[in-house]
Every structure is written in C-alpha cells, then in structure tokens.
C-alpha cells in the first residue's frame, strides 16, 4: 500500500495554505514552491475546493485559502478529497461484491486494518503537523 502522488501533493498544498492562512489568498505560483507542479496543482486545488477544504478568491489579489482552521482539518479529510475512501482490497470497495464476505477471515483483517489507518489519519490535523516540524532535527541530535 502506498499513498499516491495525488494524495501527497494534496497534503503539501494544504499544509502550505495552513501555514500561510493569515497572509490572504495564495497564488498558484506561491503554492507551487512546495514542489507540486503548477499544471497539476489546479486539478488538486479543484478537488480540495469541491471537498470544502479550500476557498477560492477571484481578482487581482485572488488565489486560494484554507477553508477552516488547520486544527479542524484532518489528514483523512485531505486524503479522502484526493483519493476517495481507503480500500486495501477490491472486496473492501463500496460496490465490491463477494459471495463469501460474511465468512471471509481475510476481509475481516482488511476491515480492521482499514479502520485502524482511518482512525490514525482522522486523529492528526494540519495544525498537529506544525507541532512536529522540528522532530527530524531533534532525532538526529541524539
């Protein structure tokens, strides 16, 4: 299981908008300093806007802004907006059908893993990410 580039880039963009929330709308060019290609960024921000995570402001001073306080937006919110619900197996999809799903021991494992991952992602907000920015530096000095 691997987070797609789409999910990762969406998280970078949201973190940037959270970090610059008090500076007004941010242009595509400024958000692209996160390393997300500018041409891809418009698509990602469109998904985030449709999910209610980002607002757009038109005009010369327009751009993109985070729609809620960073502490109110979870990593799960961002990943869901970018990739949809987590599905570890075909049988876990909403429309996935398996004649043995009620008795399948493997499906129960996938369900527990999915629930656990979703709980972890829902338990971390963009605001929490600000609290962890210095961890790498602290870890390397031990």
Q: What pLDDT does residue 142 have?
A: 44
The pLDDT of residue 93: 62
Residue 142, classed as helix, strand or coil, is coil
Per-residue pLDDT at 94: 60
- In this prediction, the residues of the chain whose per-residue pLDDT falls under 70 are 1-2, 89-102, 132-142
User: How much is the pLDDT for 109?
Assistant: 85
Q: Say if CB 17 and CB 25 are below 8 A apart.
A: no
Say if residues 45 and 26 touch (Cβ distance below 8 Å).
no
* pLDDT reported for residue 141: 40
Domains, the chain: 5-133 (1.10.10.10)
**Residue 119: CA count within 13 A, CB half-sphere:** 6
């Amino acid at each position: 299981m691997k987070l797609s580039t789409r999910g990762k880039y969406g998280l970078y963009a949201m973190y940037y908008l959270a970090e610059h929330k008090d500076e007004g709308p941010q242009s595509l060019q400024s958000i692209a300093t996160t390393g997300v290609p500018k041409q891809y960024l418009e698509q990602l921000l469109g998904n985030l806007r449709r999910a209610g995570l980002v607002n757009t402001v038109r005009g010369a001073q327009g751009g993109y802004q985070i729609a809620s306080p960073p502490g109110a937006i979870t990593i799960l919110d961002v990943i869901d907006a970018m990739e949809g619900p987590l599905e570890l197996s075909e049988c876990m999809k909403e429309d996935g059908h398996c004649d043995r799903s009620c008795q399948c021991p493997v499906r129960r494992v996938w369900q527990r893993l999915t629930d656990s991952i979703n709980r972890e992602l829902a338990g971390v907000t963009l605001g929490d990410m600000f609290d962890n920015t210095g961890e790498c530096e602290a870890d390397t000095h031990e």
